[in-house]
Amino acid sequence: MRTCKNLKNAMFAKLGENFQPVILPHTWNNMDGQDGGGDYWRGIGIYTLELPNPTAGKRQYIELQGANHVATVYCNGKELGTHRGGFSTFRYELTNGMKAEENVLTVVVTNAVSDVYPQVADFTFYGGIYRDVNFIEVENTHFDLLKDGTEGVFVTPHCSGKTRLDIFPVDTDENTLVAVELKDADGNIVGTAGAKAKEHIDIIIDVKEPHLWDGMADPYCYTAVAKLLQGEKIVDEVSVTYGYRSFRVDVETGFWLNGKNVPLHGVSRHQDREDKGWAISKADHGEDIALIKEIGANTIRLAHYQHDQYFYDLCDKTGFALWAEIPFISKFISTKEARENTLVQMKELVAQNYNHPSIFFWGISNEILIGGISEELVANHKELNALV
């Protein structure tokens, strides 16, 4: 079975300076980036973390849930890859680079100006590893941890009860089976299915008279539990939350949820706090939810970028209707690399948030015409829209 250990202790230095101990999540702009002046430090920061010793016979991965803007990851000096985008989860496999003990992860992060979005905006681009870092161990056969930062399990529910699951395991053999259980909010099993494991499995389960996710009136969630079996042994297990609901938007009457007209009143939300920048806690996320609920809002635009998975989870449970978007904002760059960056960030946003019943709208850009319009900009938007 898989294990996951959250890594908190790190050493940090701005390029050319001495290392100092820090606690993750961390940003180097928590003080100079909060006055709105735009004169905060933008450059390269280096983090080193001691990794747990590997378990013999298992595979190891590192998960970073947010590092802004560009992060290059090394294990014991070997480069694993570079992630371009400051707001989505990304992972790398460590297995082949691990020693029996004394393993070191190095992450070089930069928030300097580049061809990665966002380019220009009225908020601070905080540098650093500002969300959680997790060390994950799994059996050789497991759900795909490298599928765009997801759990490798996608649920497509319909109000009729028809529920499709798309499941992506890796390194299976002819004796590997996948088993799925669908559970209601009380933990009762309402549907099961099984199949031989392969690279992509699609399973359809019919749930009788599903209880609808009905916004703040009744944010009812189900859980899909997917297991990989080899004989009697469960080699990996993933649980994801989802919900049954339908909606439409009418130009005259607005938003309709499950056949009922629901006027939307809400706010835009950023992810920063005084003296913390973007390196905020679960308690901060929870307080934001409580404050937004207190003012009577029922919808949130998660402004300008992909937010923490924990906040989407809270919105599922609270019933907010969400707009989620990528940081394609204010200034368009006419290069192949920048265009590709919009597509990668869009794909990660949708894939990583596919199962959330609280998300109704995907934003492909905002305020992008501040920098003017062009045929290339329109073409980029059409490609993003088609991708979604």
Q: Known catalytic residues?
A: 367
The closest alpha carbon to 278, from 142, 172, 69, 127, belongs to 127
The closest alpha carbon to 303, from 285, 321, 329, 338, belongs to 329
Residues in the chain: 388
Cα gap 365→387, rounded to integer Å: 13
Do 333 and 356 meet the contact criterion of CB atoms below 8 Å apart? no
Could you tell me the CA-to-CA distances from 320 to 215, 250, 253, 311, 365 in Å, in that order? 6, 19, 19, 11, 21
Which structure tokens are listed for 380?
């980029």
For 351, counting Cβ atoms within 10 Å of its Cβ (0-12 exposed, 13-18 middle, 19+ buried), the class is middle
Phi-psi region of 152 (alpha: psi -120 to 50; beta: other; left: phi over 0): left
Q: What residues contact 294, with CB distance under 8 A and at least 6 apart?
A: none
Do 166 and 174 meet the contact criterion of CB atoms below 8 Å apart? no
Place of tokens 């307080």: 287
Cα gap 352→341, rounded to integer Å: 16
Q: What residues contact 131, with CB distance under 8 A and at least 6 apart?
A: 25, 64, 65, 66, 67, 278, 279, 308
